[in-house]
Chain A
Amino acid sequence: MGKMFIGEDWAPAKKLVAGINTLSEGTGQFVKFLVMALVLVLFIEVTARYVFDSPTVWALETSKMLLGSIGTLGWGYTHKLGGHVRVDVVYGMLSRRIQALIDVILSIIFLFPLVYVLIFTGSKWALRAWKTGEKMIDSSWLPPAAPFRTLMVVGFCFFALQCIAQFIEDLYYLIYKKELRNV
């Protein structure tokens, strides 16, 4: 059925998948610096609090924003690495084609609704934060919440893209019984 639209080599889809994989890889390479920053920020806070007895006002929210960014931006990268753990007792024994079928069906039932809700609701809250000038209220620092909420949406979108890339690969295998990346 794919033939009707894009021909058997699925060239545009292949390019899209490759592009998304590069994006996820690049995101991971960026997020690793946030991990270093998280260690550093919390260590500075511990030193300031227990050694100099003058805790910072900015460390708590900064570290929260860092964790949220590592998490949400890291989801797509983790998915690319196959890091979202599977229960592969049965799955591991199945042929690649059946595995692709399971992934395609369950993506439609569970995964796409999940990423849709994350992106849709996340954007709504980010937009609201920009409009109302929402502040993060865990400390007296009161930083604006909008940039972080927006970054979370970016993370959700990258995650969604990686899900789409894997969906395309599975769909291709399901139809043509060979890997798209080898075509």
Chain B
Amino acid sequence: MFNFLSPEAITIGMFTALFIGVLSGFPLAFPIGGVGIITGLMLFGPNSFDLIYGRVYAIVTDYGLMAVPLFVFMGNMLEKSGIAKKMYDALYLWFGGFRGGLAIVSIVIGTIMAASVGIIAASITMLTLVALPAMIERKYDKGIATGAICAGGSLGILIPPSIMLIVYGPVAQISVGKLFMAAFIPGLMLSGLYIIYIAVRCHFQPHLAPAIPKEERNVPFSQKTLLVVKTIVPAAILIFSVLGAIYFGIAAPTEAAAVGALVSTLLTVAYGQFSWKVLKDVSLSTIKLTGMVLLIASCSTAFVSVFLSAGGGKVVETFILNFPGGNWAVFTMIMVICFILGAFIDWIGIIFVMVPILAPIIPKLGFDPLWFAMMVIVNLQMSFLTPPFAYAMFFLKGAAPPALGIETKDIIRGMIPYVFIIVVELALMIAFPQIVLWLPGTM
């Protein structure tokens, strides 16, 4: 009955309603799904409900998304295993003597954790509990300390396995295994850039992060080495059992995630931290994130399928292909939009709504879809570190012992430099696309 509306009017209408609904502060998923349903009813009548139900059914039984609860389970389990504390105690002895050494250790542990968990909540919580008190005790600047934890912990969702890659793959119709491999080098590179930043800054401003006196880390070399071996080896086994299986094409990401979930449980048993209660708590806390992801995914696919049926995809395509300035101008616009949205909206909503609409247009602009995917994903790393909606900050504040006196302004001051480092990384990825494309090319 409303089919006199032009696709342009529908596009503008749907997105205006979506933004008002989302920015009102009502849970993200509801306005996304609600706008989809109301528009569907207006344009196609009650028959559109079957389409929407079909999309919801497909999402909640999606084999690829099954990896989400498994990786969340794995992350929560590792958090309970106490491996982060052991790793920190070992690496502390090695890096403590350098200026900024403990902040570098935070990035290193964040990176190792990132290769075994796919969520940032677990890595940031672990780092906050283990590394933050030690740094504050040693008179580290609060900005340096919290910045390293936020940046290092956020790597969890970039370095595979990562639930961001798991949801991106099916949405853009790219193999998740290929995405995992494509994310590997950019992830490690970003971690390297973070470490360089800390080392350089603390070299020139030593008062920010004083070195630990020698007497506090006076442990024989053999014992120092043994400590590292005892923590790094189990982590390496875990990482290899998950990522190796995917790289060599042995197992699908979901299967590898199941192995990872079990191995992380065994690791918790081996460290003597396992109990029936731990297993129950881990399983219970897995529901919350899984429920949230599946609901946003369901609602977004409902929105997108109505949007595309109404001809909105064509409108966006025409707009993008006729954008003045050519494909790089469009690309820059997409990146800037991604950055701005990321500062306000949860990344899951951005990926599920934006990517299915943009993905078919990207090859027409002459960009490699895999490379573009990594540009978006690295770009969204900034979304965790840019206030007002900076996840990393929320998780750190939630986990930090109040006695440390960490204030929001300390965290923001600490996070901002890392946002610029991510921009540098994006520039490098534009200049040298092989950073992204080489490893998946060898699969």
Give the B-binding residues of A (Cβ under 8 A).
Answer: 28-29, 31-33, 35-36, 38-39, 42-43, 45-46, 49-50, 60, 63-65, 67-68, 70-72, 74-75, 77-79, 81, 83-92, 94, 99, 102-103, 106-107, 109-111, 113-114, 117-118, 120-122, 125, 152
Contacts and interface: CB of A to CB of B under 8 A. Distances in A.
Given A39-B262, A75-B291, A90-B23, A70 B69 contact: yes
The 3 residue pairs across chains A and B that have the minimum distance between CB atoms: A91-B25, A110-B34, A78-B291
A60 B259 contact: no
Interface string B236-259: 000000000000001100110111
Contacts of B265: 39
Contacts, number: 191
15 contacts: A49-B255, A50-B251, A63-B66, A65-B61, A74-B288, A78-B287, A87-B344, A90-B24, A90-B25, A102-B25, A114-B34, A118-B53, A120-B49, A122-B53, A125-B57
- Per DSSP, chain A at the interface is helix
Contacts of B261: 39, 43
B284 interface: yes
Q: Most A CB atoms within 10 A — which of B49, B284, B291, B344?
A: B291
B49 A87 contact: no
B288 A81 contact: yes
B192 interface: no
B346 A43 contact: no
B29 A84 contact: yes
Contacts of B254: 42
A32 B280 contact: yes
Interface in B196-215: none
Given A29-B284, A42-B254, A84-B30, A92 B25 contact: yes
Contacts of B287: 28, 31-32, 35, 70, 74, 77-78
Contacts of A50: 250-251
A110 B35 contact: yes
B170 to A, nearest CB: 14
B50 interface: yes
Residue of B35, B254, B258, B261 ringed by the most chain A CB atoms within 10 A? B258
Contact of B292 (A78, A90, A94, A99): A78
Contacts of A75: 291, 294-295
Given A86-B25, A86-B28, A91-B25, A117 B291 contact: no
